[in-house]
Amino acid sequence: MKDKVGREIINKKVRDAFLQEYEWEWTRDTMKDRGFKVMEFLKKNDPADWACLNDVVCAFRNIDNALAFPEPYAVCVYCGGDGCDGDCKACRGQGWMPKEVYDRVPAEMKG
């Protein structure tokens, strides 16, 4: 099994985190579905837009971004996935990094 940048995932704990990808997707899809239903409800029942549809849309986008951020993306380039017994600050001891954290890693560290 490989991470999203094509590196082999050796550590079992890291592999288990990546295997939960379906649950992350399901959670985000469920939240989007609820967001659409809330917007449809408001369009139908709040035609004067007292709730301010734009604010509601923005709130659901923020939730989606918050849920997207912590998804496993790459094996930690600093500890190689073992988390250094929880001491690796780059991955917070998890052995993997979300995309936004990985994207900020200097190119020379990515190999």
Cβ nearer to Zn ion, comparing 26 with 82: 82
Task: Based on the shown chain and the rule CB under 5 A, indicate whether residue 78 belongs to the binding site for Zn ion.
Answer: yes
SS (H, E, C) the chain: CECCCCCECCCHHHHHHHHCHHHHHHHHHHHHHHHHHHHHHHHHHCCCCCCCHHHHHHHHHHHHHHHHCCCCCEECCCCCCCHHHHCCCCCCCCCEECHHHHHCCCHHHHC
Task: Based on the shown chain and the rule CB under 5 A, indicate whether residue 76 belongs to the binding site for Zn ion.
Answer: yes
Shortest distance in whole angstroms from residue 12 CB to Zn ion: 15
Cβ nearer to Zn ion, comparing 24 with 78: 78
Stretch of residues binding Zn ion (CB under 5 A), selected from 13-21, 29-37, 68-76, 98-106: 68-76
Chain contacts with Zn ion (rule: CB under 5 A): 76, 78-79, 88, 90-91
